[in-house]
Amino acid sequence: MFFLLLMGVGAAAGWLAHRHMDLPLNQTMSIAAGALGALVGGLLLQAVFSLLFGVIGALVGAAAVIWIAASLQRSRR
């Protein structure tokens, strides 16, 4: 169940990032990057601390992976 929560948080973060930022990524890539980052960040912080920190880690992880993916996409242009 926690896995689905992390994926939802990440997908929402990716969608919001795509809508409100000038990203060189398409919408699908933004959502996938957000979900991947949320999964990694959320599971890491949840394993060390608690459920609340897992959700915060999901947001931070999603933002980090979206930023990295956008930076890599820009450098290819």
Could you read off the pLDDT of 21-66 as tens digits, one per residue? 877 778 888 888 888 888 888 888 888 887 778 888 888 888 888 8
24 lies in some domain: no
- What's the domain range around 67? 32-71
How many structural domains compose the chain? 1
Predicted pLDDT at 18: 82
Average pLDDT over residues 16-25: 81
Query: Distance between CA 67 and CA 27 in Å, rounded?
Result: 14
53 lies in some domain: yes
Predicted pLDDT at 74: 80
Q: Is there a contact between 13 and 59 (Cβ–Cβ < 8 Å)?
A: yes
Predicted pLDDT at 77: 67
Q: How far is CA 68 from CA 5, 25, 41, 61, 77, in A?
A: 23, 11, 14, 11, 15
11 lies in some domain: no
In the predicted model, is pLDDT for residue 76 greater than 80?
no
